[in-house]
Amino acid sequence: KQEVTQIPAALSVPEGENLVLNCSFTDSAIYNLQWFRQDPGKGLTSLLLIQSSQREQTSGRLNASLDKSSGRSTLYIAASQPGDSATYLCAVSDSGGSNYKLTFGKGTLLTVNP
Amino acid sequence: SQTIHQWPATLVQPVGSPLSLECTVEGTSNPNLYWYRQAAGRGLQLLFYSVGIGQISSEVPQNLSASRPQDRQFILSSKKLLLSDSGFYLCASGQQETQYFGPGTRLLVL
């Protein structure tokens, strides 16, 4: 059974700092990995999707890397802003089938202080 | 892109009462549909998914059920709620590997 772990559970940084969020998964036979953002009491917004054959994806100040063999991914946020404060969730989709089920980590609660 | 509607936004129900949460999707056809629950201190847990009308797969044993009466409508139900059913319920719609999430329903069972 796939398990996804995110470290740290919470992170507080001053504005402008670069930061890294970590995600690990137990079964390396994944189809893809996604990073989501969740604001308090809201739904999820997809940030980046990395296919299993890819090593990284970039969108603006966000960069996600994937090391499938070691079961790890990182989300790098450059020049953090107070608006980046949210919970960041990592999710993996297992190989095969057409259902594209996702297994989520518990998330990292990020607070960026002005 | 797709738009996911969920209602109600918030619900407070007594133990033993029935439940019906509705999710509708705009902007796509024949999507995969998913119900997730996010409970305090726990990650997002997949409850049900559907790859087509009338096709429901359950991921965890529980007193909840799901139905898909129309292509873009997904309903989560219970005949008798338990305290442990409290949580934040999210509906998602997927086209291949991309999933779009609704705003969620916060359920409190007292």
Provide the greatest CA pair distance for chain B.
38
pLDDT (tens digit per residue) in A53-75: 999 999 999 999 999 999 999 99
Q: Cis before residue A8, ω within 30 degrees of 0?
A: yes
Backbone angles phi, psi at A81, to 5 degrees: -125, 155
A44 min Cα distance to partner chain B (Å): 6
A17 min Cα distance to partner chain B (Å): 27
What would the DSSP string read from start to end of B55-106? EEEESS-SSEEEEEEETTEEEEEESS--GGG-EEEEEEEEETTEEEE---EE
- What is the pLDDT tens value at each position of chain B, 110 positions in all? 789 999 999 999 999 999 999 999 999 999 999 999 998 878 899 999 999 999 999 888 678 999 999 999 999 999 999 999 999 999 999 877 788 999 999 999 99
* B106–A99 C-beta distance less than 8 A: no
The interface residues of chain A toward chain B in range 6-65, judged by CB-CB distance below 8 A, are 31-32, 34, 36, 41-46, 49
